[in-house]
Amino acid sequence: MKLEDLKKIREKAEKDIVLRDGKSRIKVTVGMGTSGIAAGARETLKAFLEEIEKRGLHDVLVTQAGEKGLSSHEPVVTVSEEGKGQVVYGNVTRDVAVKIVAEHLVNGSPVSANIIEVNK
């Protein structure tokens, strides 16, 4: 093994334990209350995880939370970005989730059709 090889292993392995340091650029919180789950939040969550993995976005944290009270708009997803505030999305189906990853997380432009609230 060379020193560069060690560096490569480290770079790869670091991504697998990033959760334990709590360091991330963007946090995606999926509302997983009872009504969220009933509206398909599990699928939404899975879609986020798959899509993020596919694109290799290692600085994005996906986590879950209770419901916000907007039952009619479930699944509800909040995207928070360091220094840029929060965007709350409603009716996030699998397709919308994929769209949010591509447009918001990668390109930085929120998916306006599904926004319910923006907190600065």
Residues binding other proteins (CB under 8 A): 1-3, 6, 9-10, 12-14, 16-17, 19-20, 22, 24, 29, 32-34, 37, 42, 45-46, 49-50, 52-53, 61-66
Q: Any bridge partners for residue 117, and if so which?
A: 88
CB of 42 to other proteins, least distance (A): 8
Comparison of 56 and 112: residue with beta carbon closer to other proteins: 56
Comparison of 20 and 120: residue with beta carbon closer to other proteins: 20
Give φ, ψ of 91 to 5 degrees.
50, 50
Rounded Cα gap, residues 104 and 100, in angstroms: 5
CB of 35 to other proteins, least distance (A): 11
CB of 84 to other proteins, least distance (A): 19
| Chain mean position to CA 55 | 12
